[in-house]
Amino acid sequence: MSNIAIGQYLAYDTFIHKLDPRVKLIASLLFIITIFFVQTFVGYIPFFILLIVMISVGKIPVKSLIKSIKPLVWILLITGLINLFTTSGRTLFTIFSLTATYEGLYKTIFMFVRIIMIVVSTSVLTFTTSPMELTDGLEKLFSPLKRFGFPAGELAMMVSISLRFIPTLFEEAQRIKMAQMARGADFESGNIINRAKNMIPLLVPLFINSFKRSDDLATAMEARLYRIGRERTRLNEIIMTKTDYLVLILFSLFCLIVIVKFFI
């Protein structure tokens, strides 16, 4: 659990780190939308090259990216098996009256690559953008909706707190697990039901500590005069530069070219 990379920020001084958070948020969204238009492995090549460039420029360790993918391994395997045995087509092999097909294998690998690319692109965003920058970026992007009563500031704050607390909760769970194991608790042996029962001594104190942390955070925010619906002042205002606009335009053109080339 301590190896979870979700929500962690790598404080480096790189070109990607210096980009406006709004640019990175929009680029990440465009990346995810565009990759769903691609229906061939050849279409993934531009995205793969782009990810390699972003990872290199952002100085993101490969180990950190692997850690961000690990939590999805079981989900990928289960959905992959479902696709493998439920997709009609030419028979690859048969086991227990279940037929795997070549088309199912192709669909499974294709889905694996797509999901991994999406996770890696999202990780690049969180690794190169601090929670505070993400909060300010989201609030700025949704600010036009405030006139319609949309709680842009509150939504941005919720996202920021969630991202900040994800690694904290995992670290807390790891500490509680080690303490329980030192007292003789066993989380590894037994069947699924027994393992689930053994998790209760871990989950109960984790939930209690989470509520305590939430209460402490609420008290700290109130002490700093945080009020719902009120405008907040910022130490550093985010301002779009010419470089930010240029990167956003080039990235939008990249996505448009990919859609035209591999979908239309």
Query: Mean pLDDT over residues 124-151, rounded?
Result: 84
Query: Mean pLDDT over residues 209-214, rounded?
Result: 86
Contacts of 100 (CB under 8 A, 6+ apart): 84, 85, 91, 92, 93, 94
CA distance 136 to 187: 41
| Sign of the alpha-carbon dihedral angle for 116, 113, 55, 245 | negative
Mean pLDDT of the chain: 85
Q: How far is CA 22 from CA 27, 117, 131, 160, in A?
A: 8, 21, 13, 14
Region of residue 243 (left: phi > 0; alpha: psi -120 to 50; beta: else):
alpha
Q: How many residues does the chain have?
A: 264
CA distance 64 to 167: 13
Q: The pTM is what?
A: 0.77
Domain range list for the chain: 15-262
At 92, phi and psi to the nearest 5? -95, -50
What is the pLDDT at residue 1?
44
- The answer, yes or no, to whether residue 4 has pLDDT greater than 60, is no
- The answer, yes or no, to whether residue 8 has pLDDT greater than 90, is no
* Cβ neighbours of 133 (radius 10 Å): 21
Strands (E), 25-122: 91-95, 98-101
DSSP 231: P
- The answer, yes or no, to whether residue 3 has pLDDT greater than 70, is no
Q: Could you report the per-residue pLDDT of 31-71, keeping only the tens digit for each?
A: 999 999 988 899 899 999 999 999 999 999 988 888 888 87
Alpha helices in 87-130 (DSSP H): 102-128
Question: Which helix H or strand E contains 204, and what residues bound it?
Answer: helix 200-223
Q: Could you report the per-residue pLDDT of 169-201, keeping only the tens digit for each?
A: 878 888 888 888 888 777 777 777 777 777 888
Grade residue 7 by pLDDT with cuts at 50, 70 and 90: low
CA distance 232 to 105: 52
DSSP 233: P
CA distance 49 to 124: 14
